[in-house]
Structures are given as C-alpha cells and as structure tokens.
Amino acid sequence: MSKATLNIVLLGTGTSTGIPVVGCRCNVCRSTDKRNQRTRCSALLNYNGNNLLIDTATDLRQQALREDIRHIDAVLYTHCHADHVHGIDDLRGFNVHDGNPIPLYATSETLTSLHKNFSYIFDQHQPSGYVPRLTLHPIEGAMNLFGLEVIPIPLHHGKQPATGYRCGPFAYLTDCNRISDSSLTLLEGLQLLVLDGLRFKPHPTHFNIPEAVDIAQSIGAKQTLLTHLSHDVDHAHVDANLPDGINLAYDGQRFSFEIQLQNSDENCYEN
C-alpha cells in the first residue's frame, strides 16, 4: 500500500445533445455563464501518473485539448449510448504518442455493442495508423488498475443496465434512474458522488433532480454533484436552491483526494 493523490476532472456534464443544443435559442443555450455550456458526460481520473478515462464522449477531442490530456492509460465505459462512446475514434491521437494499445474495460454486453458498432476498429481490416489500437477487457468485479481499486456499481438506466464506478472516496454514477439495494451498499462513506440528475421533469431512463436529491441524501456522500444536465437547468438559479452538500456539476470542475494505492501487479488489467 502506498499513498497517492487522486485528481478528478469532470470533462463533460451535459446530456446527450450537449448544451447549447443545436438550433435552440432558450435562455440556457444562449447563456454566457460558462457553467451552462456543457459537453457530453465524461470524467478523467489521474493518480501516480496514470490517466483513467470514464467513457469516450462525443466531445472527447475538445475535452482533451481543453484539459491538456496527453495520454490515456485505460478507459472505463458506463454503457454503450452514443453520447458516451462516439469519441472512441479520438483515442487514435493518444496511440500516436504511446506505442501501446489502450485497454477498454466494460461489461461484456457493452463490449459486444462496441465491437458491433465500431467493427472498423476491432476487425482490423484497416492498415495500422488509421484506426485506434484498443483492447477489450470484460469487467467481472472489482479491479486493480495501476494500483487503484475500481469497483463497478451496477445501475438501472430504464430497461438497460449501466455501470457506475467507485474509486476510494469517489463514485461516478451517470445514466441511471434506479440503484438497487446491493449497489447502494457499495456506496457508503463517500466524499464525492457524481450522480445523474437530468432535469426537473420526469424521464424514463434518468433520475430527475428531485429524485437525484432524494437518493443523494440517502447515500449521504459528503458532497454530491448532479451531472448529465439538460438545457432546462440554469446553473446559477438551480444550484442556489439545492440542499446543503448537493450542487450542480460543471465542465472542467476539479477535485483531489488522498488515497491508498494497492500493490499493482505486473499485469494490472485484471485480478
């Protein structure tokens, strides 16, 4: 065991359209408050020189340039909806700087969908250099990634499953509208919870803000940030009216925590 700093950057906090929404002239889409300008949902975890990316959002290139991300050591996928995966081709840029393929971790269902939807990447008909070099790793339980314990959290996203992740004091639960009791037991003692909270109106596959506030209060993290926000949500107005300890997330928001790393075995991709 050794101590390290876990640095978290919220790369994107917007719903699937991104905010502003193309063609929309509403007050939030026209707002000059940077916190109302939201790219698609993703987060970066940095520790001991390693960069773990959660999802390859549609806006990955823009996020990587904005945050000066120069390498990616692994990707954790939450599920296979377009807004969370369509930046996958932009991983090619990171291959250029690093000779190794990038390992992708996801449930076997998500890996099957990735393979099917991006067969040009995984069926290797293209000469190398034209497609990202990626390897697929099914998640079967808690993993040790470069010394960091990563605990998958099964979530309900309407009728589909999605996967959240807990890493020490931090959990990232986007795209969900129900959390089972067995998953809730994995979320005790958190410092920071990032949780889906789309908008005020109900939605069939996402927590709305009142539902997210309820579940956040029962999870009891020291701080909760709502993400996957739509253009119904004006940052300043809504944030000021949330209960203590619950806020809206915004793009580029950063956090750091002291954590304990485990011994990292030589092949730390699975255990």
Binding site for Zn ion (CB under 5 A): 21, 24, 26, 29, 81, 83, 175, 231
The least distance separating Zn ion from the CB of residue 79, rounded to whole angstroms, comes to 6
The least distance separating Zn ion from the CB of residue 48, rounded to whole angstroms, comes to 29
The least distance separating Zn ion from the CB of residue 159, rounded to whole angstroms, comes to 12
The least distance separating Zn ion from the CB of residue 20, rounded to whole angstroms, comes to 6
Return the number of the residue (249 or 259) whose C-beta is nearest Zn ion. 249
The least distance separating Zn ion from the CB of residue 179, rounded to whole angstroms, comes to 15
Return the number of the residue (4 or 11) whose C-beta is nearest Zn ion. 11
Q: Give the 3-state secondary structure of the chain.
A: CEEEEEEEEEEECECCCCECCCCCCCCCCCCCCHHHCECECEEEEEECCEEEEECCCCCHHHHHHHCCCCCCCEEECCCCCHHHHCCHHHHHHHHHHCCCCEEEEECHHHHHHHHHHCHHHHCCCCCCCCCCCEEEEECCCCEEECCEEEEEEEEEECCEEEEEEEECCEEEECCCCECCHHHHHHHCCCCEEEEECCCCCCCCCCCCHHHHHHHHHHHCCCEEEEECECCCCCHHHHHCCCCCCEEECCCCCEEEEEEEECCCCCCCCCC
Return the number of the residue (81 or 86) whose C-beta is nearest Zn ion. 81
Return the number of the residue (24 or 240) whose C-beta is nearest Zn ion. 24
Return the number of the residue (19 or 102) whose C-beta is nearest Zn ion. 19
